[in-house]
Amino acid sequence: MATVLYLDELSKKYGSLQAVDRLSLQVEAGSIYGLLGPNGSGKTTTLGMVLDVVRPSGGSFLWFGHSISRESKQRVGALLETPNFYPYLTAKRNLEVVADTKQADHKQINKMLDMVGLGTRSHTTFKGFSLGMKQRLALAAAMLNDPEVLVLDEPTNGLDPQGIAEVRDLIMRIAAQGKTIILASHLLDEVEKVCSHVAVLQAGKLKANGPVGNILSAHDQLIISAEELAPVLQLLERLPYIMQFAQEKDYIILTLDQGYSSTDLNRDMFAQGIVLSQLLVRRKSLEAQFLEITQKEA
């Protein structure tokens, strides 16, 4: 699969503040890639650098295998800040202004308004829109030149639950068209429900990255004990559905692959003559897993 965006030790420093610290990652075509982290983690600064709005202090990045250029910018749509349109112009007239700026075809305007669910509100002035409607109009504006990649910074920030659901559904529909989406968010739930891949950032540093199912899966943990742990550890090495395990004093903590349960483990242990003296299931929340990731040493 082609690499859309490649970051190689990208850094940004503001005086003594290291906003982004040697960040390296790559975004594959067709993915919904989330940059997840609390406020101040470097998400917006990273997006600003790759969109040529903020000058990096070090490192480099490539769009579609090349340095950023006018051509590559035409292939990327972006929503970085709060929607900013002329308040007394209608939705359609605002998009006409954007289309002229982007040199985009005006024939795309009605199509984009329909796509974001504003086709029937095209003649409503921007000041009469709810925050969710404003955000959807901003997404329509970002899509006017039919970009291959859509970059979104906190697209559901400040929205009520209905607005969040609407924007989330819209992002999924845009992605279903084959677009690549890069999305920055501080919301665990949003990233887990929308993104295919995630990079977890804290204080400008990359803490973890990969498929969402591997990084942010709220898998249950099992705690097991036996009279002798050596044969248990040997069997865990061979079982294909064991994601990870670690010995802690006189017990073992492990995580199973999706679709497997403690029953499968107990059965396979017993088949090898191992009787477990303890088998506990510990529910692990998504928040707990995120805290574990961000509290790791850099």
Residues 48 and 181 in one domain: yes
Total-model pTM? 0.76
pLDDT(298) > 50:
no
Residues 158 and 183 in one domain: yes
Percent of the chain scoring above 90 in pLDDT: 69
What is the predicted pLDDT for the residue at 82?
Answer: 74
Report how far residue 116's alpha carbon sits from residue 132's, in angstroms, rounded to the nearest whole number.
Answer: 11
Q: Is residue 251 part of a domain?
A: yes
pLDDT for 93-149, tens place per residue? Answer: 999 999 998 889 999 999 999 999 999 999 999 999 998 899 999 999 999 999 999
Domain that holds residue 38: 3-215
Residues 236 and 210 in one domain: no
Residue 103, helix vs strand vs coil: coil
Contact 199, 34 (CB under 8 A): yes
What is the predicted pLDDT for the residue at 219?
Answer: 63
Residues 138 and 263 in one domain: no
Residues 170 and 266 in one domain: no
Residues 234 and 208 in one domain: no
Q: Is residue 67 part of a domain?
A: yes
Residues 163 and 262 in one domain: no
Report how far residue 181's alpha carbon sits from residue 29's, in angstroms, rounded to the nearest whole number.
Answer: 9
Please name every residue paired with 18 in a beta bridge, in sequence order, or none if there are none: 13
Residues 71 and 40 in one domain: yes
Q: Is residue 293 part of a domain?
A: no
Highest-confidence segment of 34-38, 157-161, 216-220: 34-38
At 25, give phi and psi (nearest 5°): -165, 170
At 195, give phi and psi (nearest 5°): -85, 150
What is the predicted pLDDT for the residue at 217?
Answer: 63
Contact 223, 282 (CB under 8 A): yes
User: How many structural domains are present in the chain?
Assistant: 2
Q: Is residue 243 part of a domain?
A: yes
Residues 114 and 153 in one domain: yes
Mean pLDDT, the chain, as a whole number?
Answer: 90
Q: Is residue 100 part of a domain?
A: yes
pLDDT(282) > 90:
no
Residues 166 and 269 in one domain: no
Residues 168 and 250 in one domain: no
Q: Last residue of some domain: 190, 215, 240? A: 215
pLDDT for 40-86, tens place per residue? Answer: 999 999 999 999 999 999 999 999 999 999 999 999 999 987 778 99
What's the rounded mean pLDDT across residues 181-194? 90
